[in-house]
Amino acid sequence: AKERAIRILQEVGIPEAEARLRAYPHQLSGGLRQRVMIGMAMICKPDLLIADEPTTALDVTIEAQILALMKRLKEEQGTSILLITHNMGVVAKVCDEVYVMYAGKIMEHAEVFELFNHVSHPYTEGLLKSIPRIDHVTDRLYSIPGVVPNLLHLPNGCSFCTRCAEADKDCAGSKPELRQIREGHWVRCCKRLPEGMAADAEAYE
């Protein structure tokens, strides 16, 4: 067991792995603590690893190292990773498929390249607009207007309609289904169905 623990610490990039076995959390940097947690999760070679905000509060250098580590372990061990994050940059780097969720509902689903090149849902658009860009300097970062609805008392219609600039009475009165608008691209929005497909777009639910 000790040899296995040392080996997994080495695999996740912990220097002097054997000496670190008796280290306490406060004796390790943030990046090393994250690596230890990933090692603990991967030691049994799980089929699925659920990673909830694994790079939050880390500096960009350590973040890049952790993401590269997760990607390497995924490829070497064949583990599927369910990554939960608010960071669209992280999504672009490591994900194969993306599910954008709002108020407990999937708003958009596509492979990562398709989603970033053909953004369709207003909420996804808002998330991407809020990312700082070096080619578009502004005095203030964009933020989606309004507030998240009470999850115990959601609107009768689309849960995003109170914050959406394109919402109308149809959005407020009916709950949109998740529909396929392009091959492998699903959107929950009545405003985003291509012309000619509104009647026969395939429903996900």
Checking if the pLDDT of 179 tops 70, the result is yes
Residue 34 lies in a domain: yes
Per-residue pLDDT for 110 more than 70? yes
The single-letter DSSP state of residue 78 is -
pLDDT of residue 204: 55
Judge if 108 and 191 occupy the same domain: yes
If asked whether residues 25 and 107 sit together in one domain, one would say: no
pLDDT at 134: 76
74 shares its domain with 143 = no
The pairs formed by 106-111 with CB atoms below 8 angstroms and a separation of 24 or more are 106/178, 106/186, 106/188, 106/204, 107/160, 107/187, 107/188, 107/189, 108/185, 108/186, 108/187, 108/188, 109/178, 109/185, 109/186, 109/187, 109/204, 110/182, 110/184, 110/185, 110/186, 111/184
Higher pLDDT among residues 121 and 174, named by residue: 121
- Do strands 185-187 and 179-182 pair parallel, antiparallel, or not at all (unpaired)? antiparallel
Q: Domain check: are 105 and 50 in the same one? A: no
- Is residue 25 a part of any domain in this protein? yes
We report the CATH number of the domain holding residue 59 as 3.40.50.300
12 and 102 in a single domain? The answer is: no
Q: What is the mean pLDDT of residues 72-95?
A: 90
Based on the domain organization, do 6 and 42 belong to the same domain?
yes
How far is residue 34's CA from residue 66's CA, in Å, rounded to a whole number?
Answer: 8
Q: What is the pLDDT of residue 203?
A: 57
Q: Are residues 127 and 193 in the same domain?
A: yes
Domain boundary among 85, 110, 143: 85
**Per-residue pLDDT tens over the stretch 140-175:** 888 999 999 999 998 889 999 999 999 999 899 989
Output the pLDDT for position 13.
Answer: 84
pLDDT, tens digit, for every residue of 45-66?
Answer: 889 999 999 887 777 887 888 8
Encoded amino acid at 18, one letter: E
Domain limits for position 27? 1-85
Number of domains in the chain: 2
- Tell me phi and psi for residue 107, to 5 degrees: -95, -30
pLDDT of amino acid 202: 59
Tell the residue number behind the tokens 């169905």, with chain if given: 193
In a domain, 90, yes or no: no
Q: What is the mean pLDDT of residues 124-141?
A: 84
d(CA 36, CA 54): 12
- 133 contacts 123 by C-beta, under 8 angstroms: no
**Most confidently modeled of 30-34, 108-112, 191-195?**
108-112
